[in-house]
Structure 1
Amino acid sequence: MSSSYPGKRLSTKGERCTVRYVGEVKGKQGQWLGVEWDDPTRGKHSGTHDGIEYFKCRTSHPTAGSFLRPSAAWDQPRTFLEALRTKYAAIETGENATNQNVIKISGKEAEEVGFEKIARQQAQLQNLRIVVLDELLVKAYDESNTSSEDSLDHVIKTCPNITDLDLGRNLFETLSEISAICDRLPKLKFLRLDANRLRDVSGLENSSNERSSGLAQLTSASLDHMLCKGKELETLLRSMPNVKELSASSNQLGSLDECSLPNTLHSITLEDNDFSSLEDIRLLGECCPQLRTLSLKNNQISSTYKDLQHKSTFKLPETITDLDLAYNNITSWNIINELSTTFPGLKHLRIAHNPLFSFLRSADGKPLTSADGYMLTIARLPQLETLNYSKITEKERLNSETYYLSQIGRELSLSPKEKDKDILASHPRWRELCEEYGEPKIERQAESKLDPNSLAARLLECTVYSPSTAGLSNLPNETNPLVIEIPKSCSIYKVHGILGRRLGVEPTHLHLVLETGEKDRVDMATWNGVEEWDSDQEDAEEVGEEWKEREEVLVPGTRPLGTYVDGSKARIRVELL
């Protein structure tokens, strides 16, 4: 294959690849082609053989490359019109059709009502508006080897009404080749080029007038899986100055600092790239003043700023109302606290499946549920209208904000006063929420003067009672409880034994309940599915508003009593089995 060169697109047995090297391989006879497969799992190496690097793959996958003989069985490519006829005019119809397909349903022949009509409609290529030619091995036109009926000039005669065109996963090598086709489709508005691997992304060399070219009239484009870096994407988009909706997912974008985008954009999808902070896309604030929807799903975003020590503040357009940050690497509330400033117009947020919501802890170290994360996210973003496709009701916002305020108060109560400034700095809505709902009471426990190694420091003062509704007159009641000191290290087995002896009741007949003094939302405990608030379901249910006292049943076991209690006091309710 003397015509082979780096960048040439080939296919063998339906597997597409790009030539990255042409020449000899040490220890092997003859000429070889070093190729990078579109499917990176198809190969055996990354361009290195016996310690010698012959070529580099654009992907980082270790098995994206192979060496093939130039004489391999290569698949026959097609022109645009050949692919169009293969897909939409391959079925013979009308009176001249001799081989009718027999359709069977449950083993019985069915009359072919409607199928012939569909086939005829497909064959009428002039009426086609939506055309999908992905994976049909479409290549550039070689006018010297192309019949007159397949020539470029015949495109506009054959299919002049195409508005949506999918040319993804084909064998194009330059954008000019694609532009030559689009120039002959006067009604084209949407173009999909996914997984084409272009060696040249400049596309208007063959167009006499840039503004009248087929690419310039596009309003929507999909450029996914094209292995584009920032400058390459910018060059591609220069040929599409009027595009309003753009998808550039699964490329190699780590920053938009060197990628000026069309100022006409209303929606942009940048999923599955290499962004690590929101600052990586700050250029959108300068070049996309009309942007409304932004998807950054499945990146590695963990913060607002690249350098947390030297923050360079920025603001993205107020027109952005919809933001998707699902499946990123958010582990801290900081980035969520800063969303209101970074996206001042934000109304609709998706932030599901981030590590933060899998390992939530309260101020006192207790695990929180995903539903707690849902409410704490709502409370931090006052302008939000929907979260993970679920509409935020007024009652839900009220409960979320009061819950968040109580959590801040709890954090302050558990920390020394000198840490107040740092704690409140991490909760920018503190003052606003206090003005709305009143400042929570901060009850700090007095610093203990006891020697931590003394026996007194290791005892719990337990208030034990039986509720009056139980009607157990022989047990201490709420007005006259039993106050007893029990070592924190005592297992629950021993606690049952101690209280059984003091109360004159068989330990096996005791049912002990620790009253924590805290509250939980009833919906969090009862709604089957609240743990999935961060799911992909668009019809997520609303969260309720009822609350109940949090209690812990002290089930006999080896767990120490002290692990259930914060502080030096406990309140235990006694019931009989």
Structure 2
Amino acid sequence: MEAVAFRLGQRVHAAGDPARIGTVRYLGPVEGHSGDWVGVDWDAGAGGRHDGSLAGRRYFVAAGERSASFARPTALSSGITLPDALRSRYCVDNFTKEEQDEMYVFSTSQKRVSVELVGKNKVQEKLKNLNELTSASVSYMGVSSIGPRDELKNLVPNLRQLDLTGNLLSQWQDIFSLCEALVSLEVLDLTNNTMDNDFTESSSVKNICVLVLNYCGVTWELVEKIKVSFSCLSELHLMMNRIKKIMSPVGNIVQGFDTLRLLNLEDNHIDSWDEIVKLSYLRSLEQLHLNKNMIKHVTYPSNPPSPGSLGDAAVMPFQKLRVLLLGSNQIDEFLSVDSLNLFPSLMDVRLSDNPIADPAKGGVPRFVLIARLGKVKILNGSEVSPRERREAEIRYVRLVMGKAESYDPEEIKQMHPRFAELKAFHGIEDEKPISRTSGPQKMASGLISNIVEL
């Protein structure tokens, strides 16, 4: 294969290693070496030797100091078509022993989900005709195009779920053609395909309900275009895309996404809750995944836009939001925790690996969070039973009472908004507090530093 067989910007993988993926950045000679060469900027973790310069001469600018290398054209592959990948993956005669023993697909959170094959004969009978296949994974198989549309349509007409993780796709027109060919397709996972942000809106794709674009280099500007073409999405996964700003073309509120129930923005670079407030009027949003960002403060929107600006006077901010995952952020104060009580439908919260929820870093244990979060039924992935809630609230009230002697009622109300409510609800009477410290201290810091004494 000659270098001219490739093009700048093309996605390729190392011959014989479909998991080592990169982008062509240079085609031509390399000084001091004969023949044609292809300069490749390898994806993170794929390994390289330099930054696009060699022997003092720069050929291209790579993403990292050692993410680039030059390769002979014969050492690279431009990939295969999707139909060829499906045949290779699901033709039983081509299975290796390991593939016969175990197959897997990736979940939207990038966890392996094993698919056990019970008996080779049964599998062969089931898959001898690929048109019976409803779920398929061709991850890291070097898929670079969908091939002839009719071929794909006739090959897997009943396919409902397709995992294309770690392939060579980059053009949105290929994705539109794929969705048009597979009219039964509902779940499409494009994780780790570097998609072109030059997006030309096509006719509406109404069959896709779940779209996974984790680690695809997606910007929010592209998301605004996606929502027009993929008009029936119920889930959109955008993990690891370095999204820091949510840029709405209309004011500061994201509109559209009328059917979207789950939005996954985990592991991006969001450091301001103001960006998340822009999502507060997505009318169907029930789950918002924000783990592994850099958010420090959370508030409930106090000044929502005027009803006329959204055309619906009845909608409250985050009206249907039931699940809010904020694990592994930088939340370190109770104001953010207490503000979660204002979300009208919130019942499932994750705060693990935040300073406020880590006793080893000066945070508080689970029972304090339960007591301060009155409506939460699931905390950090574990159900809050009625018994656990009752015990947590009583323990919390007694803790505050033991620290309250040096503060007036207004200070207590400000620092512990639910204290009076919980004290009355559980019928806890005043008692003389037992001082465990030699002098007064700030209520919040005292609660944190002395919580282990109970």
* Bin for the TM-score computed over the shorter chain: 0.7 to 0.9
- Look up the SS of the partner of 1:16 in the other structure: strand
**Counterpart selection for 2:48 from 37, 43, 48:** 43
Q: 1:228-281: CA deviations, max 9, x gaps? A: 121123333432110102221121112323476622111222221112243322
* Residue 294 of structure 2 is aligned to residue 292 of structure 1: no
Contact 2:12 2:78 in 1 (8 A): no
Q: 1:166-202: CA deviations, max 9, x gaps? A: 1221111211112212211121111111100022452
Give the % identical residues.
24
* Residue 379 of structure 2 is aligned to residue 387 of structure 1: yes
- Look up the SS of the partner of 1:340 in the other structure: helix
- Look up the SS of the partner of 1:413 in the other structure: coil
Q: 1:452-502: CA deviations, max 9, x gaps? A: xxxxxxxxxxxxxxxxxxxxxxxxxxxxxxxxxxxxxxxxxxxxxxxxxxx
Q: 1:387-438: CA deviations, max 9, x gaps? A: 23333233432332233233333443356x6xx7556423222443354346
Q: Which runs of 5+ in 2 are unaligned?
A: 102-117, 249-253, 305-315, 439-449
- Corresponding letter in the other structure for 1:338: S
Alpha-carbon separation, structure 1, partners of 2:220 and 2:59: 26
- Look up the SS of the partner of 2:188 in the other structure: strand
What is the deviation of 1:377?
0.5
Alpha-carbon separation, structure 1, partners of 2:392 and 2:94: 64
What is the deviation of 1:348?
1.6
Do the aligned partners of residues 442 and 274 (structure 1) sit closer, same or farther apart at CA in structure 2, a change above 3 Å counting?
farther
Contact 1:273 1:298 in 2 (8 A): yes
Do the aligned partners of residues 12 and 129 (structure 1) sit closer, same or farther apart at CA in structure 2, a change above 3 Å counting?
same
Contact 1:255 1:280 in 2 (8 A): yes
Superposition map of 1:66-465 within 5 A: 66-69=68-71, 71-75=73-77, 77-89=79-91, 91=93, 114-140=119-145, 151-200=148-197, 202=199, 204-205=201-202, 210-211=203-204, 215-258=205-248, 262-286=257-281, 288-304=282-298, 316-341=317-342, 343-359=343-359, 373-414=365-406, 421=410, 424-436=413-425, 437=427, 440=430
Do the aligned partners of residues 26 and 185 (structure 1) sit closer, same or farther apart at CA in structure 2, a change above 3 Å counting?
same
**Counterpart selection for 1:16 from 11, 17, 21:** 21
What is the deviation of 1:304?
1.5
Alpha-carbon separation, structure 2, partners of 1:347 and 1:54: 51
Contact 2:62 2:68 in 1 (8 A): no
Do the aligned partners of residues 300 and 262 (structure 1) sit closer, same or farther apart at CA in structure 2, a change above 3 Å counting?
same
- Look up the SS of the partner of 2:84 in the other structure: helix
- Corresponding letter in the other structure for 1:167: L
What is the deviation of 1:312?
7.1
Do the aligned partners of residues 441 and 56 (structure 1) sit closer, same or farther apart at CA in structure 2, a change above 3 Å counting?
farther
Q: Which residue of 1 aligns with 2:444?
A: none
What is the deviation of 1:73?
1.0
Alpha-carbon separation, structure 1, partners of 2:360 and 2:87: 57
Contact 1:176 1:204 in 2 (8 A): no
Alpha-carbon separation, structure 2, partners of 1:28 and 1:261: 55
Alpha-carbon separation, structure 1, partners of 2:137 and 2:221: 28
- Corresponding letter in the other structure for 1:283: K
- Look up the SS of the partner of 2:221 in the other structure: helix
Q: 1:334-370: CA deviations, max 9, x gaps? A: 21111112x2211122222323233369xxxxx88xx
Alpha-carbon separation, structure 2, partners of 1:297 and 1:379: 22
Alpha-carbon separation, structure 1, partners of 2:94 and 2:397: 72
- Corresponding letter in the other structure for 2:296: S
Do the aligned partners of residues 334 and 115 (structure 1) sit closer, same or farther apart at CA in structure 2, a change above 3 Å counting?
same
Alpha-carbon separation, structure 2, partners of 1:290 and 1:187: 24
- Look up the SS of the partner of 1:180 in the other structure: helix
Superposition map of 1:22-37 within 5 A: 33-37=38-42
Contact 1:7 1:173 in 2 (8 A): no
Alpha-carbon separation, structure 2, partners of 1:355 and 1:438: 30
- Corresponding letter in the other structure for 1:264: T
Contact 1:360 1:373 in 2 (8 A): no
What is the deviation of 1:313?
5.4
TM (normalized to structure 1)?
Answer: 0.61
